Structure 1
C-alpha cells in the first residue's frame, strides 16, 4: 500500500482517536474519521506487543495490509481509519483475517452492506491431469 494511503503522524492518529468513531468485533477495533475532501481512504495499523514478537506482529500487519489492498476499490474514500488488532487474530489464517476485516468494515459503513467476498477456488473447478 502506497504511503499516500497511510496515517503515519501521531497528530493524525490522535485526531482519528479523539474526533472519530469506533466500531469493533472480536478481532479488530476500527476508528474512523470523516474527511469529505479526501480522494482516497487512509489507514493506520496498530498491533500491540501483547500479541507476540516482532515476527508475529509484522506477519499480522502484512495480512491486514494485503486484505485492505484487495478491498481498496470498494472502501469508502472519505475516511481516515485506524485498525487495532486484538488477541484472537494471532491464530487466524489470511482468509479468516480478511473475512473478519470485511465484517468490521461493513459495521463501520466503510464497505457497502451488499459487498460479498469472492469464494475461494474450489477443487471441483480445477483441472486434473
Structure 2
C-alpha cells in the first residue's frame, strides 16, 4: 500500500485514540474515527513487544497489511489496529476472518463485503 494510507505521527495516533470508537475481540482491537480531512482511509498498526522477537512482530504486521489491502474500506476514516498476544496462535486465514468480522462490526467496509482487489 502507498505511504499516504499510513498514519505514522504519534500525535495523529493519540488524537485518534481520544476520539475513537472501538470494536474488539480476543485477538485484535480496532479503533476508528471518521476523518473528513482525507480523501481515503488511513491506518496504523501496533504489535506489542511481548508478542515475540522482531521477526514475529513484523510477520504479524505484514499479514495485517495484506488483509487491509484486500478489504474495500470506506473513504475518510482512520483505523488503528492493535494485535493482542493471543493473535500469535492464528493462521493467516484466521487473522483475515477476525479482522474482516471486526471491520464489518465497525461498519467501515464498503457494502459490508470483503473483496480481493486485483
State the shift of 1:28 in Å.
0.8
- Distance between the aligned counterparts of 1:7 and 1:18, measured in 2? 15
- Distance between the aligned counterparts of 1:23 and 1:60, measured in 2? 19
Map of 1:2 onto structure 2: 2
Map of 1:107 onto structure 2: 105
**4+ residue runs over 4 A deviation:** none
* Residue number among 75, 78, 93 corresponding to 1:77 in the alignment: 75
Provide TM-score, normalisation by structure 1. Answer: 0.83
5+ unaligned residues in a row in structure 1: which ranges?
119-129
- Distance between the aligned counterparts of 2:113 and 2:47, measured in 1? 26
Q: Which of 1 and 2 has greater Rg? A: 1
Could you give the per-residue CA deviations for residues 77-111 of structure 1, whole angstroms, max 9, x where no partner exists? 12111100012211111111011100111111111
Could you give the per-residue CA deviations for residues 48-105 of structure 1, whole angstroms, max 9, x where no partner exists? 011111110000000000111111xx20112111100012211111111011100111
Provide TM-score, normalisation by structure 2. Answer: 0.91
Map of 1:123 onto structure 2: none
Aligned Cα root-mean-square deviation (Å): 1.5
Contact in 2 for aligned 1:99/1:117 (Cα 8 Å): no
- Distance between the aligned counterparts of 1:4 and 1:37, measured in 2? 13
Contact in 1 for aligned 2:70/2:115 (Cα 8 Å): no
